[in-house]
Structures are given as C-alpha cells and as structure tokens.
Chain A
C-alpha cells in the first residue's frame, strides 16, 4: 500500500480485426506514456502535472482519437474536448469545441488555474487560449488521412440506418472495413471505436488526479459534447481516487461513471477494484465503456464491458502491464 501509481488508456471498444501492426503501435505508445509518467513521478512531480504531461503526449501522437488524429465531425472538421481534475481540492478545468489549440488538455488546465470558471467552450475557449498565449495551429493539423477515410465510411454506414437507434445487424456493402458485426454507438466498431485518451495518477504524497481528452464521436453533429469534458462523467478525482472513462459517451454521461466509482468507495466503503467492478457491471445498462482508476493508497485498476480497452498500468513496486484485450 502507498507509493505512486499510474494508468493510461487509449479507448474502450477495440475492433477485433484491428491489424497486428496497429496493435503493436498502440502498445508501444502506451508503454512510452507509462515511462514518461513514471519518470515524472520519480522526479516528484505532483499528480496533476503528471496526468497533464502524459495526456499531452497522447494528444500529440496521431494514433488515438485526441489532438492530432481526432475523429472528425460530420463536416470533416475537428472539435476537441478535454477535462482535468485535481483530487485534493477537487479543482477542475474543462474545454469543448477546441479547433486550433494544439493541446486541449493544457487549455483545460489553464481554465482551472487561470480563469474564474471551470469550463469554457467554442469561441470563448479559443479566445481565452489566444490570451493565454498557448500554441495554436490550423484545424487541418489535427486531421489525418486515416480519419478522412473513416469519415467517409461512417457516412456510408449511417446512410443505410433510418433510425440511428436501430443497430445495423448485417454487415454493410461497399465498405471493406465493415466485416465485423461488433458495434459501438450502434454502428460498426471499426469506424466508431472511441479511442479517447486518458491518464490517472496518484503520487507518493497520495494525491490523485485524472485527465481525459478526445476528438469525440466520428461523424458527430457540429457542437456535440460527449462525456470527456464533463466532470463526474468522463473524469473525476477527489481525495480517494482518480478516474478516467472512455466508451459510448452517452452511456457514460447517464451513468455519471467517473463519479460513481468514487461515490461507491466513499458511501459504500468499497475498495478501488471492487468499486470499478461494481460500476462497470451495474451502472452501464446497455452501454459499452471502460475506465482506469487509481486510489490514494497507491492501487491501480481498470474495468471495461466493451470488446477490449487500450490500457497501461504501473505501480511503484514494479508492476507494469500494457494490454488491449480482456483481463485475465
């Protein structure tokens, strides 16, 4: 018990047909991020700084759905969102509708530290970013060829769905990637896999922090906000723990998933793993999602009811694990 712990994720809900090459790239990125976080922890950086720097790394790398490599809106643009929370005083910061800020998680941090508010969005957030002098780029910077292709497939998949609530039962014609019957958000997982990123940390002083960042749902309506920037849904940290979630955003919001882990620890006295298991099993209804969590006692846990979750976990006593598929 005690000591630091760190977990990172790159999204819950993984295409079972994901090429091996990509699985390897994902594991390498997660490993690199873990090491980055571990070095920082060993240099006694506080949890809040560690989660920010790790998520920055995930945003900058185009592999997952955040920062560069973000999913595209229905208009082919990128609108990113992120939130960060510092356990000790439950301070928090969040942003949505970010289009030119290179690292949304850092902007969320600035909202927390440098503004009188907790959540800024769209043009107001961008104006704040300019005033703060953060690094700005063109929206094009975030758009990758991969995702342009995905958007096209998403529109094709969508066009045969008359009511978005009715899942596609057959595979779609005309799109080679759509041979998996597995779905996320009611549509093929190969296109709609969330790949949101996040990091949770407890430092050696027992301070917890959490951070989450995403480009959101592929082909989303302009202005759509998901769970990632919502405190209590996608991100939460308090004295007891730090939590970051990923998966079907609407399900996570309805379940106030991140807060739920902390609430059952606080009000039911469950330990971290039991709390995570309980919440994943009992609170997701028909939704698919996953989460990573750390406790002030130096424990780390993850849980998901989706098909896999990109994740990595490490603790001070030397434990380290990076994985994609089901837990043992």
Chain B
C-alpha cells in the first residue's frame, strides 16, 4: 500500500534517433510533472486534484499534444478533448471540441461537478465554459509552428497520423510500424492513488494530426481512453480508433476484477492482445499502490513514482533506453 502516480506524454513511433533538442525538453517536463504530482500526493491532495493539476501542467507545455501544442485538424484548427474520472464514485466528466479554453481537463472537471451531465462538446462546451468564467484564450494560443509543419507534411502525404507514423488502415489486424523520423507527440494523461486507495485518472489531447473537423477519439470516452474504479485508474494513448474498439481502459479493470489478473498482467494483456501493435500505451495504478506502464509502440513518454521511493522517467522500453 502507499501512494503511486504515473503520467504520460503520448505513445507512438518515437524514433530512437530522436534528436537531443526534441528529447530533453520533454524529459524535463515529465520529470517536473512527476515532482509536482508527488509533492501534491505527499501534501495529501486528493488523487482527483493531483491528476487534474498534472494534466494541466502537461496541457500548458507546448511539447505535448494537449492544450498548447495540440495537433491540428485538417482545417488547421485546434479541437481539444479531455476526460477525468474519480475511482470511488465513478463520477466522470468529459469535453470535446474545445478551442478557446486554456485547460480542457479543468473544464471536464467542471462538467462533472457543476452539471447534471457527464459530457459536453463543441459549442455547448464552450458556452458552459464562458458561463463558468473559465479562462478563455484565443485559439492561436494553442497553435505551435511545429504543428503547422506537421499538418503540412500530413497533407502532403495525405494521411491522418498519430503524429509520426505511416498511414494506418483501420481494419488491419496487425499493423507494422514504420519510422519516418517525423515529430513525436501524443496524448497526455495521469493516474494516481493515495495511501487510502482512492484512485483517479485524467487524459487530455488535441487528437490526430489532420483529423476531420468534429472527430472524437478515445480520450473523452469513458472506458476507452480513461477509466477509474475502486480497483485501478487507467489512461491510454495511441490510435484512438483502435483504443475505442478495444475499450482499453475498462478492460484493464475488467481483467483484474473478473479474471483476477494483477494490475501488471491486466495492462500487459490489453496492450499485447487487445490492440494491434503500434497503436497503444497505457499507464495504470492500482488501489494497493502498484504502477505499470506498458506500450506496444516504439516508445511512450512516461514517468512514474511510488511511495516506497522508486521512480522512472523514460521514452523507450527500459532495455532499449540509452541513458
């Protein structure tokens, strides 16, 4: 038992040749977010507060695909989505199609706490944000030159991508992953458990590069990209369409509950057996303070820490990591 926290900045085909100048800022951000998450847990903040504040920090960082730094739709605009869930009550909140709210995850939390609903989207979500007096910014605030370039490349190649892979056909059962040295971003997320076993999960994203306007991915769908109950808290990242059809986050918990698998076994099973290779990464914590971060992509920006003092910050599988 004891607290535990894990966070991610996206899974995908992150090439081992990633230049230092693209690697260091992200590693530093992961380390920093881990620190603030751990401090908050040590200060007895609720896991719900902890996951929200960590994801806010990741959203504010332009190096990840959420909030500032979100990838662009095929029209060059930003449409963000986020989701938060409280393990004890299974209360949850989600938003999609948000373009002028500085922190989509906080808006998702407001939906959970201040409306009779779970999920608000597009104009309705923005109207609610204004009503709540949430900090609104110009859409340009979120757009970075990197992402303008990514969109340009994607349009030239005529593909929709998790930022750095070759086109993926929706129906292929086993998709090979090809590195093309492109940029390396993904969704962000955080899961946390305190020493009483209270769990929470939060995920936030700009979605897929060159996505159709109005496209919703796995992130705001309870049970797909985000889930928490009294056994575990899970946040997934990767190719949304594949994560949705695998109901990835819920399945981790279901395997623990119905098949008696451990957290690590359940998450590994989902990553290895339920989602095609190259498509998913998962972070999860259990009520007993365990943590796991499996992925079937080349890499996943991630960090975790547990009360017993262990911690990890990484991008590629540990045996590959060149540190």
Contacts and interface: CB of A to CB of B under 8 A. Distances in A.
A221 B115 contact: yes
Contact of A231 (B115, B160, B214, B221): B221
B214 A263 contact: no
Interface string B192-217: 00000000000000000001111111
**Tier of interface size on chain A:** 35 or more
B128 A253 contact: no
Contacts of A254: 90-92, 118, 222
Contacts of A253: 92, 118-119, 222
Nearest to B221: A230
Contact of B171 (A89, A119, A120, A124): A89
B254 A124 contact: no
A2 interface: no
Given A91-B171, A118-B245, A121-B216, A97 B222 contact: no
A90 B170 CA distance: 11
A115 interface: yes
B160 A268 contact: no
B69 interface: no
A325 interface: no
A267 B250 contact: no
A263 B274 CA distance: 13
B101 interface: no
B245 A224 contact: no
B258 A268 contact: yes
A224 B222 contact: no
B116 A267 contact: no
Interface residues of B, number: 47
Interface in A211-231: 217, 220-226, 230-231
Contact of B215 (A120, A221, A226): A120
Contact of B247 (A256, A267, A285): A256
A222 B244 contact: no
Given A121-B214, A267-B255, A186 B121 contact: no
A128 B224 contact: no
B120 A118 contact: no
A96 B244 contact: no
A128 B212 contact: yes
Contacts of B146: none
Contacts of B117: 217, 220-221, 224-226, 250
Contacts of A224: 117, 119-120, 124
A298 B266 CA distance: 30
Q: Which among B94, B125, B213 has the highest number of chain A CB atoms within 10 Å?
A: B213
Contacts of B217: 117, 119
A222 B116 contact: no
A31 interface: no
Nearest to A126: B214
B244 A123 contact: no
B213 A127 contact: yes
A124 B123 contact: no
Contacts of B37: none
Interface in A279-303: 285
B241 interface: yes
B32 interface: no
A312 interface: no
Contacts of A314: none
B118 A231 contact: no
B127 interface: yes
Given A253-B118, A253-B119, A259 B221 contact: no
Contact of B122 (A115, A118, A121): A121
B241 A118 contact: yes
B214 A127 contact: yes
Interface of B: 90-92, 94, 96-97, 115-125, 127-128, 160, 170-171, 173, 211-217, 221-224, 227, 240-241, 244-247, 250-251, 254-255, 258-259
14 contacts: A97-B121, A119-B215, A121-B121, A122-B97, A186-B116, A222-B124, A223-B123, A223-B127, A225-B119, A230-B222, A253-B118, A256-B222, A256-B247, A263-B258
